[in-house]
Amino acid sequence: MIIKPMVRSNMCLNAHPLGCAKEVENQIAYVKAQKAKRGTKSLKEGGNGPKFVLVLGCSTGYGLASRISAAFEYGADTIGVSFEKAGTETKGGTPGWYNNLAFDRAAKAEGLFTETFSADAFSHETRKMIIDEAKKAGKKFDLIVYSLASPVRSDPDKIDPNSETGAHVLYKSVIKPIGKTYAGLGIDILTDTLKESAAEPANDEEIANTVKVMGGEDWQLWIDQLAAAGVLAEGCRTVAYSYIGPELSHAIYRDGTIGQAKKHLEATAHALNEKLSKELGGAAYVSVNKGLVTRSSAVIPIISLYLSILFKVMKEKGTHEGCIEQMERLFAERLYTGDNASAGKVPVDEENRIRVDDWEMQADVQAEVDKLMAKVNNDNIKEICDLVGYKHDFYATNGFDVEGIDYTADVARMDQI
């Protein structure tokens, strides 16, 4: 069959198996090139980087890039968890399912230990399964990456009193402002035009539910249960990901429902840092990363427009990064800066956060973005915005618009890469 992108309401609803696999290969190639450039030694070469890494939310975005960095720059063995829909012979799977297949294939070809599980990362059953896998492998995790970005979370400890089947309470997150409506321009992917959109303010229940889904409660459960099971190594570190962004987006993001969840995540990092430091000589961090094209950012008022202008400005300055560039830099210049790529002293801000959004938030970058945001309209959008780059990232996330893939060719099966 010939597979073309299906876009509805600025969301891509399908994936191209070969394009997804090629994108993973491209990220691996980048990391290998950086390894050579930096002179990083893998574990087999006598390096002291991460050895056994658990990535929660391993299939796309920053989670996938983290796993690739750990495996292909440092030679780490990895376990990944994500909840994906598998492809069948005739029906497509999720992009993350194809990405996981591509990662496992490449890691095994390098002789690396790799296990990938499609499972509900919020459940105690999944935590027990991962603990059992670590014990079976005779390994202890020295890095846990928490990169879950789900719209829903099932509470593992609460049964819904209204459920006839004994189902657990289900929380749903929302991306909404708090206090008043937020409106702004965004980019319509299909028409290359500006489109006004608005988000109504969240109520108290929506705020609380978003914190339940996107905050630090589940991260805490993972670390507590892994520690209690004795599968965390001495010096173990854990890192979760966040975003702050510019003042213009704070009403919908940092000061909105997602921002409240991220503040909870950061508070959890402090608690986990104290726990790991005392028990294992380890540490916990939140890494604040650069704004990138994701399924959610494409539909948040103002964010898509901001990102398309940001990309243009940063590319002109030579500082633009995607997921893999960000995570490779996080590992090489923040987490593993000691002798022979061992865990070194981590530079952090006053809130103990790692900042790899530093280039995005430089004063000259933000000043130029603000200037362009003030004058963009439908007549000059193609000159002011990096529409080509933004749309490439939007489509490539699902395996489309990837160089080297013939999109006119027939794809025989949807359960292979």
**Residues annotated catalytic, as ranges:** 253
Please give the single-letter amino acid code of residue 317: K
- Asked whether residue 61 is marked as a ligand-binding residue, the answer is yes
Q: Which two tokens stand for residue 268?
A: 């959890």
Q: Is 60 annotated as a binding residue?
A: yes
Residue 120 marked in a binding site: yes
125 is in an annotated binding site: no
Sign of CA dihedral 132, 134, 140, 145: negative
State whether residue 398 is helix, strand or coil: coil
Token pair belonging to 326: 């960000």
Structure tokens at 343: 């865990």
Instruction: Measure the CA–CA gap between 245 and 261, rounded to whole angstroms.
Output: 15
Give residue 38's identity as a one-letter amino acid code.
Answer: R
- Reading the block at residue 60, the tokens are 């796309």
Residues contacting 290, CB < 8 A, separation 6+: 321, 326, 356, 357, 359, 360
62 is in an annotated binding site: yes
Q: Rounded CA gap, 125 and 127, in Å?
A: 5
Asked whether residue 298 is marked as a ligand-binding residue, the answer is no
Say if residue 121 carries a ligand binding annotation: yes
Q: DSSP assignment of 145-193, as one string?
A: EE----SEEEEEEEE-TT-SS-PEEEEE-----SSS-EEEEEEETTTTE
Q: Is 57 annotated as a binding residue?
A: yes
Check whether 94 is labelled as a binding-site residue: no
CA atoms within 13 A on the CB side of 267: 11
84 is in an annotated binding site: yes
Rg (CA), the chain: 21
Asked if residue 38 lies in contact with residue 30, where contact means CB atoms within 8 angstroms, the answer is no
243 labelled ligand-binding: yes
83 is in an annotated binding site: yes
59 carries a ligand binding annotation: yes
What secondary structure letter does DSSP report for 332?
I
- Determine whether the annotation assigns residue 292 to a binding site: yes
CA–CA gap between residue 296 and residue 199 (Å, rounded): 13
Q: 242-247, long-range: CB within 8 Å, 24+ apart, which pairs?
A: 242/266, 242/286, 242/287, 242/288, 242/289, 242/353, 243/288, 243/289, 243/291, 243/357, 244/288, 244/357, 244/361, 245/291, 245/306, 245/357, 246/306, 246/361, 246/366, 246/369, 246/370
Q: Is 40 annotated as a binding residue?
A: no
Question: Residues at the annotated binding site for substrate?
Answer: 243
Question: Residues at the annotated binding site?
Answer: 57-62, 83-84, 120-121, 148-149, 243, 262, 292-294
Question: Residues at the annotated binding site for NAD(+)?
Answer: 57-62, 83-84, 120-121, 148-149, 262, 292-294
